[in-house]
A and B are shown apart, each in its own frame.
Chain A
Amino acid sequence: MNVRSAAARLSVLVSDPGRPVVDLAAKRRREAQRGQMNVAGLRLLVAVVFLGSWELTTRLGWVDVFFWSQPSAIVAKTWYWITQGTDLGPLWDQVLTTMEETVGGFVVGSILGVVFGVALGRSRLLSDVLGPYIKAANAIPRVVVGALFAISLGLDIKSKIATAAVLVFFVVFFNAFQGVREVDRNLIANARILGAGDRQLTTEILIPSALSWIVASLHTSFGLALVGAVVGELFGATSGVGELIYAAKNNFDAAGVFAGMGLLAAMALLAEALITALEDRLIKWRPPVATETRI
């Protein structure tokens, strides 16, 4: 029996001649709909209040527009970039450059992270030997390696990919490692009894089992890849959104800095959507979560 017919029956039971029949399910649906509308409305309100007060205070001169810019100027700047291009060339090229660096670093870092995470998760000896070094490396503020790569790999895309990859690597590595370590012992025993060899154990049990950990880490690590790419550009580059922001900063162009930030945010949101889609494809064996916690 579905909820609706149950509710219908219930409504018959509770109704008496003097009272109107209440369809509980319909009521519940209406309430849910109203709840969603309320949330959407409140979100919009937050944006309007925030941007409105920013615009207002800068226009009234309470906040210095030179340092803090204002929403209308940022929109105008973005529009100018889109239509007239930036000082570094067409806007699209800058976005593309940063995207390439980010995705490149993300892919390289993720693959290395998974490979090393699984290898160390599987081998006690490896993890005992390398564990302290990895912990130490993880403790350094890793964005500084961007400076090193700018020297050693030059100012083109390679140094940015390397920086982004380093940032991504550790997050994915720790998750993959933990994921492999936490595999249900029963599943391993079962696979071995069924005749699985070492390779099958890795590809069919350990990696799928660790996958939910790994994929969860991809959400964070794409953001970090973007950080790596932008920081790499700040250390020296000829194109890219980070370089755009850097140039705007040198010109005391606050609107340009904000416009660059807006672009990065849009890129991150797009990537987040793509990773969520990937997650649903990769882990379709997982029961759907009852409560949506995604933001």
Chain B
Amino acid sequence: MAPAIELRGVTKRFLTPSGGVYTALRDLNLAVEPGEFCAVVGPTGCGKSTTLALISGLELPSEGEVEVLGRPVIGIADGIGYMFQSDAVFPWKTVLENVAAGPRYHGLSNRDARVKARDWIARVGLAGFEDRYPYQLSGGMRKRVALAQSLINGPRILLMDEPFSALDVQTRSLMENELLGLWAASSASVVFVTHDLEEAISLSDRVFVITAGPGTVKSNYKVDLQRPRNVAEIRFEPRFVEIYQEIWNDLRDEVAVSYERQKRSGAA
């Protein structure tokens, strides 16, 4: 079967404000199977978020090819859900309006969009909060809104950029379990970016390790843990620990490189 997402020899350069060129990704190859849950881990600043931007079409590669669902990416395509690292729910819309936005943008009538939105709000456990504004919600609840918002259009690709990194540990594992439940009911391929290896392994089928920037895929590991999983408990399993050690050996060097660099640029 053709991969759902494929990046071949992708390089991405940005112009820095001072006029220099910054290479975020270099010769990156990555493929995600349909329905597969993939995690991308790597040290800070290795271009993880850029990878997602390229898949979504928010950014285009400087070199190489990006294909999603068998089609080359030339701009923002349909069928993609994206959960951003920082809050990206619209502060001037209520929970209901936020979740209904996607269907409305896709041409559904206001009423139909609201009906659909109510259903999704209930699915992420926010029933009763439809008329609240984001500022009235906790961080975890805002993440639920964002999750409903990105899933409501029935995406075949779900991109997640450290979505839960700002949450406390308990809320986080709750959200992770709910995400797995919602994902299992869909058939979406997921690319989940995180710097947390534990989170990466407990959620995914495959883990890609990205090198310190400019990022490229260093290695990828199959996570052969059974599903359904309970992320709060799976980390005690012996197999989990084995996989963790294996990947960590790989990741450690990259983290060290990135840390050294930060220290140097901090000292300079």
Contact = CB atoms under 8 A, between A and B. Distances in A.
A193 B90 contact: no
B264 interface: no
B86 A208 contact: no
Interface string A193-204: 111110010001
A190 interface: yes
Interface in A211-231: 211
Given A186-B84, A204-B101, A287-B135, A193 B91 contact: no
Contact of A285 (B56, B76, B93): B93
B169 interface: no
Interface in B70-100: 76, 78, 80-82, 84, 86-94
The bracket for how many chain B residues form the interface is: 20 to 34
B105 interface: yes
A192 interface: yes
Contacts of B92: 208-209, 211, 283, 285
Interface residues of A, number: 23
Nearest to A288: B135
Contact of A190 (B82, B94, B106, B133): B82
Contacts of A283: 92
A201 to B, nearest CB: 10
A189 interface: yes
Interface in A16-64: none
Contacts of B87: 186
22 contacts: A186-B86, A186-B88, A187-B88, A189-B82, A189-B88, A190-B90, A190-B149, A191-B101, A191-B105, A193-B58, A193-B81, A193-B150, A194-B101, A194-B102, A194-B150, A194-B153, A195-B105, A196-B101, A196-B105, A204-B101, A208-B92, A285-B93
The 5 lowest CB-CB distance pairs between A and B, nearest first, are: A195-B105, A190-B88, A194-B102, A208-B92, A287-B135
